[in-house]
């Protein structure tokens, strides 16, 4: 079964989180990581020159739920400091994003209405943009504070399919090189776009999945490697002839987990276009956020069953990965896609339920504070 490049390799055309608020409800770990960014956001805001209107942006926001409390707390601190400027917040994501849930959440119609800063504070205006963050999304020189969490690992297109794995972390050397080259090109495009948008003295705070100094990354911090498990259970369907070889390879994640040195490269090279544009890397650190589901299981191991843990963990994995596997089955009937994808996640869930030891999804983030001088 052949799948066209237009349908399979372009991020904008295929990638979306599950809708109806599913993503935010199932990604508690991401919310914890974002909430922990508040001190850095506060610090940056204090150092940014004041413009008549405070314009901020959340790049790759999904349905807005995971970052809502952080933004609400930040705006509360702004208003408590007697800063009554008009505030604009632009939420950006792909055109296929669940913007309906995002706007309902912002207006208190969904989720916790106490976190609806749009209703809670006056002169706060929320906007949405359904265009990918690899290009400029705001007028030049108008952005004071940009923010992005768990988004910048998505590359604009797959440079190739990965033959024997679903993610670049398991690619062979030639495949990995192609992903590295695409990721560097995209990172430079992202940074140049943010540089154009940022006002002088403006900041871009980025919390991105990546590979830390110890070689750790999302779901790979000891024990079983999550992406290896994805590959194992997807390949099991191939071995049973439930999916085809083309479909197996089509489930290549359009992602690249950059190392710290890859993130730093455009800033360390004074001849790079990024450096020449005026962007400077003020700080770059790594952070591990423990999987909240695994933590809860360990704290309640006497009352929780192994099946309980598996039933809690799999939905958080599924919330952001399902689209990849569904898209790989393009051309099949929807009911067949549903059955195959359910079978895939059920197989993974059953393995965890048999023995949860080593199954977890710790978050590894590279945290960057970037300034436009």
pLDDT tens-digit profile, the chain (373 residues): 333 333 344 444 434 445 555 555 567 899 999 999 999 999 999 999 999 999 999 999 999 999 999 999 999 999 999 999 999 999 999 998 999 999 999 999 988 999 999 999 999 999 999 999 999 999 999 999 999 999 999 999 999 999 999 999 999 999 999 999 999 999 999 999 999 999 999 999 999 999 999 999 999 999 999 999 999 999 999 999 999 999 999 999 999 999 999 999 999 999 999 999 999 999 999 999 999 999 999 999 999 999 999 999 999 999 999 999 999 999 999 999 999 999 999 999 999 999 999 999 999 999 999 999 9
Can you give the pLDDT at residue 2?
Answer: 32
Spell out the domains of the chain, with CATH numbers in brackets: 5-372 (3.40.50.150)
pLDDT digits (tens, 9 = 90+) for 332-370: 999 999 999 999 999 999 999 999 999 999 999 999 999
Q: Which two tokens stand for residue 141?
A: 């020189």
CA distance 188 to 265: 10
Whether 119 contacts 126, CB under 8 Å: no
Query: In whole numbers, what is the pLDDT of the chain averaged over residues?
Result: 93
pLDDT digits (tens, 9 = 90+) for 132-189: 999 999 999 999 999 999 999 999 999 999 999 999 999 999 999 999 999 999 999 9
Sign of the torsion formed by the C-alpha atoms of 220, 159, 334 and 331: negative
Can you give the pLDDT at residue 166?
Answer: 98
CA distance 33 to 77: 20
CA distance 309 to 275: 47
Torsion of CA 143, 148, 151, 153, to 10 degrees: 90
Q: For residue 236, which phi and psi values (nearest 5 degrees)?
A: -60, -35
- E strands, 79-165, in order: 86-92, 124-129, 143-149
Which residues are paired to 209 by β-bridges?
365
CA distance 108 to 64: 12
Can you give the pLDDT at residue 184?
Answer: 98
Torsion of CA 40, 112, 150, 222, to 10 degrees: 100
Cα dist. 352→15, 56, 70, 82 in Å?
27, 41, 32, 51
Can you give the pLDDT at residue 293?
Answer: 95
CA distance 58 to 111: 18
Place of tokens 């669940």: 98
DSSP 8-state code for residue 147: E
The full length of the chain comes to 373
CA distance 144 to 372: 10
Q: For residue 112, which phi and psi values (nearest 5 degrees)?
A: -90, 110
């Amino acid at each position: 079964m052949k799948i066209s490049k237009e349908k399979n390799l372009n991020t904008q055309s295929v990638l979306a989180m599950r809708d109806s608020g599913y993503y935010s409800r199932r990604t508690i770990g991401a919310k914890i990581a974002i909430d922990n960014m508040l001190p850095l956001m506060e610090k940056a805001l204090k150092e940014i020159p004041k413009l008549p209107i405070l314009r901020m942006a959340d790049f790759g926001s999904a349905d807005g739920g995971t970052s809502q409390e952080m933004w609400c707390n930040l705006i509360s601190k702004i208003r408590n400091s007697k800063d009554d400027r008009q505030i604009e917040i632009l939420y950006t994501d792909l055109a296929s994003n669940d913007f309906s849930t995002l706007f309902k959440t912002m207006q208190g119609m969904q989720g916790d209405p106490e976190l609806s800063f749009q209703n809670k504070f006056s002169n706060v205006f929320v906007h949405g943009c359904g265009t990918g963050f690899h290009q400029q999304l705001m007028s030049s020189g108008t952005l004071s504070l940009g923010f992005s969490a768990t988004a910048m690992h998505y590359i604009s297109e797959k440079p190739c399919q990965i033959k024997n794995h679903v993610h670049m972390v398991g690619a062979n050397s030639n495949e990995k090189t192609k992903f590295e080259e695409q990721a560097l090109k995209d990172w430079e495009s992202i940074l140049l776009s943010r540089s154009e948008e940022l006002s002088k003295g403006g900041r871009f705070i980025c919390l991105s999945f990546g590979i830390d100094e110890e070689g750790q990354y999302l779901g790979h911090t000891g024990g079983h490697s999550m992406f290896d498990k994805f590959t194992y259970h997807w390949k099991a369907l191939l071995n049973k002839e439930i999916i085809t070889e083309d479909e197996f390879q089509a489930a290549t994640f359009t992602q690249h987990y950059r190392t710290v040195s890859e993130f730093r490269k455009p800033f360390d090279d004074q001849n790079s276009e990024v450096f020449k544009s005026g962007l400077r890397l003020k700080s770059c650190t790594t952070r591990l956020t423990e999987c909240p589901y695994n933590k809860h299981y360990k704290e309640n191991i006497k009352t929780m069953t192994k099946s309980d843990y598996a039933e809690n963990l799999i939905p958080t994995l599924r919330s952001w990965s399902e689209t990849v596997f569904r898209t790989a089955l393009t051309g099949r009937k929807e009911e067949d896609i549903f059955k195959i994808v359910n079978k895939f996640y059920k197989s993974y869930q059953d393995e965890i339920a048999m023995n949860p030891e080593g199954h977890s999804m710790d978050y590894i983030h590279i945290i960057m504070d970037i300034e436009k001088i």
